[in-house]
Chain A
């Protein structure tokens, strides 16, 4: 069944606004954050209008409602991600989720000389915590390079890096290249080598139903705002065994069982890692986003999104001076297209495109090692999502040609 793009776009109120002196907004920065459907906005507003109270604390009516809605959100999201509520820890996003693995699991389970495997394709959030941990604990970091000719990880080096490793951290889908890694193979090999696996699914969760149980990873990090949910909320999916091995790295209210001035004991399960007043409205909004996406066949959505990226990459490759990064000949991958012109600076180009109503990203995309591997310090990036249309992709290509023709 063809997607009803008019109906989809009508669900997102921001898409009707004008920018740059009256031009239609063409929002192509979805890898940075996605727009929110009215149902997500309404869910959060309704909570604040009708049920706002702190959770897990009081017994009055509003507190009961707020707690129910918050925990129902956990149930909704756990079901969406193919797991149980006992395996879903709310975080502020992927960055905090990865830091929770670093400081909650790795810090207390790894020792000097143990090895962590990461890749050149990682977002900074999946690089910097490991560097800091390595400095603190004397842990070895093994880096799998990217094969820049084929735009994939060097899987030979990956396999060779596994013996003796304790944790493997890999991005599911690159926020720069849009390519998807062979996650099933990575998890299988890692487990055969005795290593746990953390998958950064920030760019994958918007496009696919993440089936945590089926995937078999030990940890999966997800951001709500990249899949139509609000900013400031995400989750860490973790196996029961992993959760039992974790220690809290943020502590205080709500994550305790008993507190004396001498010692404290902690709550069990995910609550042990959710200190303080949680992002209640955001969790409710995150669940509303999952409910919204459940209206669609995710494979069909992915096909639509990927098709826009493949079309755009194919067209702009023929613009004189443009280099496109990533392999857009394959159907696996996201809606991301990164590119660079050989004379119009990336930031200038983004400015000119913005003046035409096109919102796109420029910079290092929090992936400096990956860009360095390609010999560049910044790129332009467009990233499509479910509400983008072929008309928008065509208009983008046409305006890009115009700008390059004028300033290139």
Chain B
């Protein structure tokens, strides 16, 4: 660690992350983090969390990381809105503009762009989640007295509007102001989705459990892009978080929680969906079976939140189908060559 900090003097906060073996042998990372904080304070703060894959799936790493930051946030009694979950800068800026348009100006983000920013939390804090996989962070914030604003996730035009509506209601924003601020971007989002989702309309989708974004995305694809869902699998389904999205999802698709990859593969191969949303490990084997796939991890790395990205989000799903059409002439000869 000494070498790392010497090489990277810009590091102000550092996480010790436990892996599966360190969890089985019950390595006391929190004690280690405390000791290291004493050594490197005040310049560097050392926190710890478990990134173990024994219980958890990859997106829970972000949750565990954010949750580890909550107990050390300074306390406040101010009425503030805390936006929770890592966002690309471009999305964060758009969000600030929308919320400032509502007249809300006491907004903090967790994580903040810089460790220097003063993020505080207290009984008058209300918070909204940016990602559905932040269950531990939600609980940690509630333990600090903050109140969660449950809402559909801000994916697509409908999701973003519903998400903003919950915040607007909380802060007594009038319908006129809400309309004035959101009308133009809503129109743009609808037009962009319509264009990007042209070849998604009427197609079927199958979700393998992977990123925990599955339920809000299924809501977006079925309600805004005209797709039908065959199965929506998610590693964990947290009612308190994805409930509002789940409520909007039409009856029909199998909603499955947890993993049994061989059985899920059997079901997917039998159903032959037009688009399969899955992890990287499955994508190429399914493509080789002739299915079109969208790997879920890209949805975590790409700016997809809010109005201006709604078209991009639809585009992420339509691109594999478009590509399949573009290179369709290749397949027979490829097979013949094998």
Chain B binds chain A: no
Task: Spell out A's residues near B (CB within 8 Å).
Answer: none
Which B residues fall within an 8 A CB radius of A? none
